Amino acid sequence: MGQSEPLEIRKTIRRHHLREMVPLADSTIYEMEQRGDFPRRFALSPRCIVWDLAEVQAWLLARRAKPIHRAQHPDVTKRKCRPVKGRDRAQQQA
């Protein structure tokens, strides 16, 4: 059996440090982790959850590199409750 190559020990961060770096809600981070859009946390012990610092920093750099496309505003004229009448309708009735 050959000797295995030693693993590189990488720095990890806990939740309070992650919150300082990434100002998102815990639920948002969790959902993004589940979708694969954010680095996954891992447990060092049953009560100690951490993230790999290098992965979080790489994620931040990738987010800066590409623009975020905002969601479209909902069409309020199609609401079932309190639909907003369009200007065309108001002008036609006048």
Of the candidates 65, 63, 74, 69, the one whose C-alpha atom is nearest the C-alpha of residue 23 is: 63
Pick from 32-36, 54-58, 68-72, 89-93: least confident:
89-93
Of the candidates 72, 81, 77, the one whose C-alpha atom is nearest the C-alpha of residue 90 is: 77
Condensed to tens digits (0 to 9), the pLDDT of residues 44-79 reads: 999 999 999 999 999 999 988 877 778 888 787 777
Q: Which residue has the tokens 């505003």?
A: 73
Per-residue model confidence (pLDDT) at position 26? 94
The two tokens of residue 68 are 């975020």
Q: Could you tell me the pTM of the whole model?
A: 0.64
